[in-house]
Structures are given as C-alpha cells and as structure tokens.
Amino acid sequence: MRVRTADATHELVPLADRMRYMRIFRLLAALAVVGACVALPELRREPLAVALGVTGGYLGVSLAGEAIWRMVSRRALPLFGALVVLDAVYLAWSAYLLVDADAPLRFVVLFHLVAVALLASFRTGLKLALWHSLLLLAVFHAQEAGVLESAGGGEAVALGGLEYRTLLAQAVAYWLVAIATASFGAANERELRRRRYDLEALGGLAERLERAAHAGGVAATLADAVADDFGFERVAFFGAPERKLELLAGRGLVPFALDGGLEPRADGALAHAAESAQPLLVAGFEPADEPALAAAMPEPGNLVFVPLHADGRTVGVMVCEHALRRGSRLERRVVSMLERYGSQAGLALTNAWLVDRLKRSATTDGLTGVANRRAFDETFARELARAARADDPLSLVLVDLDRFKLLNDTHGHLAGDDVLRAVASCLEDEVRIGDSVARYGGEEFAVVLPGLDAADALAAAERLRTRVAALELGAAVTVSAGVSSFPLHANEPLGLIRAADAALYASKRDGRDRVTVAG
C-alpha cells in the first residue's frame, strides 16, 4: 500500500494523553503505598515519615518532569521513558524495602507493566519488564550481601532458597504479563491503524474524485487510487453511461485498449459481475469468458470483479488483478475497501455523467442533436483565432433549407422536425473529423471547416448539397448554401458570417439548390 509519512498518520493515542494517564497511575500508586503503610504498620520496614517523604519526592519529581515536557516538546519521548524508569524505581523501593516481601503492593508492579505496555509500545513494555526484573534481582543480591540488612532487618537471604525462587517466579510473571499485554495491545493497535489508514485513504479518494472534471477523469482517478493503495498491477474500469458497459480507464493495460474498440459480451464475465451485488473473486480467469477483458489484460491471472452501484443500478464494474498465487485468499479487509472505493466511484461517476449531460444540453440543439448557436459562436471564434495564429485558411458554410415553410404547411410541423433532424444528421456524417456542424437558427445550419480555403470549401459545400438532395424523406428537400473564407473575405467572426449570409441569399435569388461563394 501507499507509504505515508509520520506526519500524515498521527499516533492513535497522543503523547499528551499518555502522560495524563500515567499521571493518574502515579497518583493511585502513591495512594496505595501510603494506604498500605497506614493500614499495615506491622509490615513497615521504615517509619511512616520516610514513606511519606519518599512518596512526596516521587510525585514532585514526576510533576517537574511533566512541566519540563510542556516546555521542551522535542524531548518528549525520552522524558516519558525517564519517568517510566522512575516509576519502576519507586515501586521497587515501596514493594521490596518499605513493606514485607509478601505485601500486596507488589501487584502494583504488574499494573505498571500493563499500563506502560498498553500506552507505550511492545518494545517499551519488554524493556520495562527487564528493568523490573533487574531491580528485583538487585534488591535480592543486596540483601544477600548484607547491604540492605540494616534497612530490612532480619536474617540474610540465601541464593537458591525459597525467597530466591519466589523472586524468579515473580520476574517470569513480569515478562509474561508484559509480553501478553503488549502482544494483545499491538494486535488491537494494528487493527486500529488499519482502520484509520482506510478512513484516510477513503478521504483522499473523495478529494481526488471531487477534482475530477468528467467521467473519464473519475474512472482514471479510481484506477490510479486502487493500483497505488492496494498494490494491484493491472486495473480496468468499465462504465455503463447508457446501460452498456464500455472501457473508460485503466492501469497497466495494453495501449490500444482505451481506443474505444473493446465491447464486452452480453453474456460474458463482466455482464455477470454487473448483475451481481457482491464482489466476485476469480482464480485463473479464462480469456474465452470475456474476450474484451482478455484483450485489455493479456494472460489475466487472479481477478477481482467489483460492481459499482448508484441510484439502484449498476453503473460500472471494476476489475483488479492481484499477484497472489492461485488458491490464495484475498484479505477480507481489502475486498471490503474495494467495495467502499467502488461505492464512492459509482456516485462520482453518476454525478459526472449528469454534469456531462447538462453541459451537452447547454451546448446542443434539442431537436437536431447538433451544436446550438451558443456552441457555434464559441467554436467559430476559437477556430478562427487558431487559424490566425497558424496562418491557415478557414471557411464557413451557411446552409438553409429551401421552401421549408411550404414543407411545414403541406406536411405538418412534425414532418418538418423530421426533415431538420435528417439534414443535421446528414451534415454531421459528411463533414470531416474536426469540422463543426451547428444549428444556426430555424432551418439554417452553419458548418465550420478549418484548413479549407474558398475553393476547397466550395467543393465541400457542393458535396453536402448533393447528399441532402439525395435523402429519401417523403418529400423533395434541397438546400442553398453560402461560403466565406478567412482571410480572403474577412478576418473576424462577424465579417465572415455576414459574407457567408450574403452569399447564401445570392443562392436563394439565383434559384435555390446551389452554393455561392462570397464575392
């Protein structure tokens, strides 16, 4: 998965909270020591005043350490460790020197191990267990050597005796408690970190999807996010803008796959995945099950099909190839995250299609399906500016249906609408890629021809006139046209439109069904 820096993924438990929890533990531990000294005076090895003084000094040093931490935050972690070591020394003193060896205060050491192992880390818990064990053995050997005899009183302990074996058992218990607590805590922390990472990844995906301007951008964003976040080598994103799946974007696919020539089978694996409500895991995909997918992903291996749903229908299918060996199971968490990624992408894709439709409706003539007057004005100005920069010719053809009012009066307005749609479709079919056809107004169309001078534009307009006259529409339909060219007739949009309009009316005056070039 994507590597994140320490600044990007903060600690689950901030250091300030850890210090506060340890402050509460120190207060409770001090109260336990003082309470035991007051309640069990016969077990004390030192006077009560000594216990109170040492406890007060311990608390004072701890509070001073926290005050230093607030002033010098850069040394926070070493200071936290130093205070933990101080805790261990105080607990060793209270458990081994203040009261008898059988006193219950030794269980406070176990609570200390549990608290540190949960609040700090696995290694810190093990280091603390080692430190407690060393203090335990140090006190024992000091008593054996008679160093603590005046303080502890009584007979000297012997190596190998019952007390020594008891201390060893206690040291083993310290290690077991530290290892068990740290292991369970680390397992829980790993799960929490994973969930936090998943939430951050989903948030990052949402931000990137918001920046995607169109459906293709949404698909490409999802493909890149899935490949980067989960380590998939190849990802294909199929969408269904018109309830028919088509390849929108991918990662690691063959170069020709996104050229629009791949069409999934109606009964293939992609269609089956689209009908399913759950992700499908396929080990050893057979190319015959979906030739379109096999063409995009040669020799596919283990695949995950994730249907994308929005508005109660399937809007796409995401296909991911993972590198696990055949028979290996994909982690359930990964599959769940793919579903969440797909849910966000499905909604974003639906919204992008809606925005695309709104944009098209704003620039498309509702009756004929070609560009409207607003789109023509923008396109014409843009193409004319490009031609001026490149010193290339550009021509404009205005096409008007002959006797269209008579056609409406004779056959009805519905028949007139059919004629307008047929003529618009004919014009779009006959122009080159890069040419623009727009409904200029009423029964008039405009055709922008970049790169053509007046002579070439005249030939193109004659071809359009001939093709319209050949249409079988139940009534004879002809058109008249006028042609103007840049820079021959004008060098700005309004001048070219006026020249082409004048040429069009010249064609009307000369008998219609003809093309005239501006004079």
The alpha-helical segments, DSSP class H, found in 212-331 are 215-230, 269-275, 291-296
Question: How far is it, in rounded angstroms, from Cα 402 to Cα 460?
Answer: 19
How many other β-carbons are positioned within 10 Å of the β-carbon of residue 284? 10
How many other β-carbons are positioned within 10 Å of the β-carbon of residue 147? 12
- The answer for residues whose C-beta is within 8 angstroms of residue 304's C-beta and 6 or more apart is 279, 280, 281, 282, 319, 320, 321, 322, 330, 335, 338
The CA dihedral of 287, 290, 296, 297, to the nearest 10 degrees, is -40
Buried b (16+ CB within 10 A) or exposed e, 48-77: eeebeebbeebbeebeeebeebeeeeeebe
Question: How far is it, in rounded angstroms, from Cα 330 to Cα 255?
Answer: 28
What backbone phi and psi angles, to 5 degrees, belong to 91? Answer: -65, -40
CA distances from 120 to 92, 178, 187 (A): 20, 12, 14
Active site residue 443: yes
- The answer for residues whose C-beta is within 8 angstroms of residue 62's C-beta and 6 or more apart is 23, 26, 83, 86, 87
Question: How far is it, in rounded angstroms, from Cα 62 to Cα 145?
Answer: 32
- Tally DSSP H helices, then E strands, for the chain: 16, 10
- Between strands 515-517 and 479-486, the pairing is parallel
Choice among 275, 443, 444, 462 that is catalytic: 443
Catalytic residues: 443
